[in-house]
Amino acid sequence: MFQNRELSEQRRSRPYALCMSDVCCQAINSVGAGHILEGETMPNALGNMPQRTQSTHSGISPLAGKPAPREMLVDLIRLEKEYFDRKPDLEDPNQRVTFGTSGHRGTSLNGSYTEAHILAITQAICDYRRTKGTSGPLYMGKDTHALSAPAQRTALEVLAANNVDTIVQEKDGVTPTPVISRAILAFNRERQAPRADGIVITPSHNPPEDGGFKYNPPHGGPADSEATRWVQDRANDLLRAGNRDVKRIPYEKATKAPSTRQGDLVLPYVRDLKNVVDMDAVRDAGLKVAVDPLGGAARPYWEPINSIYGLDITVTNPTIDATFSFMTVDHDGKIRMDCSSPYAMARLVTLKDQYQLAFANDPDSDRHGIVTPSAGLMNPNHFLAVAIRYLLTNRPEWNAQSAVGKTLVSSSMIDRVVEKFGRQLREVPVGFKWFVSGLIDSSICFGGEESAGASFLRRDGTVWTTDKDGLIMALLAAEITARSGKDPGLHYRELTTEFGNPFYVRIDAPASPEQKQKLQKLSPGSVKESKLAGEPITAKLTHAPGNDAPMGGLKVVAKSGWFAARPSGTENIYKIYAESFKGESHLDSLLNEAQDIVGNALSQS
């Protein structure tokens, strides 16, 4: 376990000393002096393990915030060749199907995402649909990652062979996650049966070499644990049998099958936006707005939005390039289309004073990044708090009894806002699946994650999407600016004046699979300490207060701050989240004591 002095020195240097270029400095400073950037790496509190490569002593790559060098770009020809040619080694657990809430992710370059995987997963989804009696259309979307198009072709061969009525965007177009969610709900709203569901082919904001494949059941949101485990187990059984039980027809035949339909998914979504965001207010204010789709699936949506609603939104980066060569490098030296990262968003941040508002989405458009003249790139927690305050005071048709949903590791600023307006707070584990049922029945009016993902109800108080929607969050920022005359950054300053100025951090630390498993199984009794950063501990949580679901980690709360620790589901790291309402030195103490508390709890388990 590292020493307190080491951490304090590391953190004191962060706001400026980690900048490796002027652009990077602007990006970091825009988050707010004194506030700590999320997603940093730190020495391992669980034992002596090597740090990530390509990083400075502080965990930041010297390339962070700079344009991606040519030698970093993925070889698209090799990537696709490996997808079709490589056979997964099922003796390696990393090459089996791991199908979580976000589906299966991997890359063909290491055998974790190949045609064999997609054949097995798609057949497993077909089999799962049959067990549930799901016989309506399956809406299938994909993003702009290089492996998404070949995976869609593979999936279509299996879906057609299984006579699944499949709807895809016409002209081989791309479709964001929220558009698929909305399409499923719109179809199912009109009938009890047959029920629609969907597939989205995306690894979200992951690097260009990655692929992803996820399933949205008839409720339109992320699949729950029962569904994902069923699909995972069935897919791995199919793989072990050499995919002999996978039904498949050639792609040319699949595209002409009666069950395969092409349609326009863009305009129905765009035309419906007026029912969730006050588009008239945005138009009437004449806002000058910029958007960077980060080369993702939202790119084809902004021109129709401009045209239909008469808006002035400039697409600052219209490029779609599967290498994502236009990106600036993320904190760890990788290309990552993370619209909440000041390093990945460095280009758009430099434009903050040229527009009244700017925003971006990740490749499947389920996340948002908001850039304002007053604050630069807003911390996701900050905008969530602003959005919640605005919506609770500007949606008169919403049920006054509906709750606000947040994840356990989101800022406590949200708690204070929700309490002020007399609303119930529903605090759940990490994962948007926990908001699905509440959004459907409108018992939750807003659900948001600290990782810049959220959705909210239509203006009439009914469900919009049950998956995260980065486009409506971006357009909500425009509505807030249009109707109040102040950008969201200024709104957040008002919140800090009223409730205090929180300091929030998320840090990643290496952890072995065994250590991650121990962390998941901790109980409140594992924590023997009675104080946190000088204050009595008021709560020791391993289950979420909002639904009593296991959080897969630990959260410890005191009056002026808290920390949470949970293992990553996709990497050999664990994540520590901490927040202080007393200042940066108090946050230092929280982080230091968090390491000790977690280490002590694990040593006793």
58 has catalytic annotation:
no
Residue 77 confidence class, pLDDT cut points 50, 70, 90: very high
pLDDT of res. 93: 92
User: What CATH number belongs to 4-64+502-604?
Assistant: 3.30.310.50
**Quick one: how far is CA 585 from the chain centroid?**
30
pLDDT of res. 58: 54
Residue 532 confidence class, pLDDT cut points 50, 70, 90: very high
- Burial of residue 425 (number of CB atoms within 10 Å: 0-12, 13-18, 19+): middle
Residue ranges per structural domain of the chain: 4-64+502-604, 76-264
Dump pLDDT digits (tens) for 334-375.
Answer: 999 999 999 999 999 999 999 999 999 999 999 999 999 999
- The residue-averaged pLDDT of 17-45 equals 34
Sign of torsion over alpha carbons 356, 327, 64, 573: positive
Domain 76-264 is of which CATH architecture? 3-Layer(aba) Sandwich (3.40)
Q: Does residue 31 register a pLDDT over 60?
A: no
Q: Does residue 34 register a pLDDT over 70?
A: no
pLDDT of res. 3: 31
Q: Does residue 27 register a pLDDT over 70?
A: no
- The residue-averaged pLDDT of 438-443 equals 98
Task: Report percent pLDDT > 70 for the chain.
Answer: 90
pLDDT of res. 48: 28
pLDDT of res. 37: 38
User: Where does 84-184 show beta strands of DSSP type E?
Assistant: 104-106, 138-142, 166-169
Dump pLDDT digits (tens) for 183-241.
Answer: 999 999 988 889 999 999 999 999 999 999 999 999 999 999 999 999 999 999 999 99
Out of 30, 112, 204, 340, pick the active-site residue: 204
Q: Are strands 403-407 and 376-377 parallel, antiparallel or unpaired?
A: unpaired
**Quick one: how far is CA 438 from the chain centroid?**
19
Dump pLDDT digits (tens) for 298-336.
Answer: 999 999 999 999 999 999 999 999 999 999 999 999 999
- Lowest-confidence pick of 163-167, 290-294, 519-523: 519-523
Dump pLDDT digits (tens) for 239-268.
Answer: 999 999 999 999 999 999 999 999 999 999
Residue 470 confidence class, pLDDT cut points 50, 70, 90: very high
Residue 602 confidence class, pLDDT cut points 50, 70, 90: confident
- Which residue has better confidence, 143 or 58? 143
Cβ atoms of 151 and 118 within 8 Å: the answer is yes
Residue 482 confidence class, pLDDT cut points 50, 70, 90: very high
pLDDT of res. 149: 98
Q: Does residue 26 register a pLDDT over 60?
A: no
Q: Does residue 11 register a pLDDT over 70?
A: no
Q: Does residue 150 register a pLDDT over 70?
A: yes
- The residue-averaged pLDDT of 455-484 equals 98
Q: Note the pTM of the prediction, 2 decimals.
A: 0.90
Dump pLDDT digits (tens) for 552-598.
Answer: 999 999 999 999 999 887 677 888 999 999 999 999 999 999 989 98
Q: What is the mean pLDDT of the chain?
A: 90
Supply 237's token pair: 């059984």
Q: Residues with Cβ < 8 Å from 63, sequence gap 6 or more?
A: 20, 54, 69, 72, 329, 333
Residue 394 confidence class, pLDDT cut points 50, 70, 90: very high
Task: Report percent pLDDT > 90 for the chain.
Answer: 83
pLDDT of res. 28: 33
Q: Does residue 51 register a pLDDT over 90?
A: no
pLDDT of res. 603: 84
Long-range CB pairs of 317-324, under 8 A, 24+ apart, other chains included = 317/292, 317/293, 317/347, 318/293, 319/295, 320/144, 320/295, 321/295, 322/74, 322/76, 322/144, 322/145, 322/146, 322/208, 323/73, 323/74, 323/76, 323/146, 323/208, 324/68, 324/208, 324/294, 324/295
- The residue-averaged pLDDT of 70-76 equals 97
Q: Does residue 441 register a pLDDT over 80?
A: yes
pLDDT of res. 512: 83
pLDDT of res. 570: 63
Q: Which helix (DSSP H) or strand (DSSP E) does residue 77 occupy?
A: helix 76-85
